[in-house]
Amino acid sequence: AQSVSQHNHHVILSEAASLELGCNYSYGGTVNLFWYVQYPGQHLQLLLKYFSGDPLVKGIKGFEAEFIKSKFSFNLRKPSVQWSDTAEYFCALGSSNTGKLIFGQGTTLQVKP
Amino acid sequence: EAGVAQSPRYKIIEKRQSVAFWCNPISGHATLYWYQQILGQGPKLLIQFQNNGVVDDSQLPKDRFSAERLKGVDSTLKIQPAKLEDSAVYLCASSPLAGGTNTQYFGPGTRLTVL
């Protein structure tokens, strides 16, 4: 069965600190991986996605993620966080056939000014 | 480009009552999804439509939940009767086509509280 696990449920950082949020998935086939973000009071929006090719993908607002097939991981990174990055972050695995998304439980990031 | 619209934004009902949610996807998007997001969890797919046909409703509690997509555009999700455990945010998303490479665009959600 397909599943996604996010290890950090709540992360607190100071501005300018580096960020890495863990995401592991379970699936033996072709993977389509996503990171979505939900800022306070806003709807879910796409940060970045990986389908194939370069395993290091860059998204909006300086975020990037690295797909490591051998580790079944797709961790999200940002070198220097800002207060405006305070949000909930979701990793998701997409079905190749239907596009259905299987989400992790989410990580709440709080950035202190 | 207008986003995915949902209404109402908030709804409070008592258990055993019925409730309906409405979703209008982005114009031209053939695929529509309904997700349920319980507090502290990630969204979980309830049902997926491709135009007006159902692609996946394997996780829809069919004894109380129903959904339809009229003419392949708007969609409604109904719960009848509601239970306490149905308290959640109901998210609608749409994408141009089905398939894993398509980005899903989410609406603001409807927050349902069942008392």
Residues 6+ apart with CB under 8 A from A34: A46, A47, A48, A49, A50, A91, A92, A93, A94, A101, B103
Nearest to A101 among B45, B108, B109 (CB): B45
Q: Which of B24, B56, B104 to mutate to test the interface with A (most CBs of A within 10 A)?
A: B104
Query: Are the Cβ atoms of B42 and A49 closer than 8 angstroms?
Result: no
Task: Return the CATH number of B5-114, one of 3.90.930.12, 3.40.50.620, 3.20.20.150, 2.60.40.10.
Answer: 2.60.40.10
- A57-110 tens-digit pLDDT: 999 999 999 999 999 999 999 999 999 999 999 999 998 878 889 999 999 999
Distance CA B37, CA A25 (A): 19
Dist. CA A73–CA B50, nearest whole Å: 30
Supply B65's token pair.
């939940």
User: What's the confidence (pLDDT) of residue A95?
Assistant: 84
Who contacts B58 (Cβ-Cβ below 8 Å, separation ≥6)? none
Q: Could you tell me the domains of chain A?
A: 3-112 (2.60.40.10)
What is the domain partition of chain B in residue ranges? 5-114
Alpha helix positions (H), chain B: none
Q: How distant is the Cα of B17 from the closest Cα of chain A, in angstroms?
A: 27
Residue B1 pLDDT grade (very low, low, confident, very high; cuts 50, 70, 90) = low
Using a CB-CB cut-off of 8 Å, the residues of chain A touching B31 are 99
Please compute the mean of the pLDDT values over residues B21-40 and round it to a whole number: 95
A90 in reach of chain B (CB within 8 A): yes
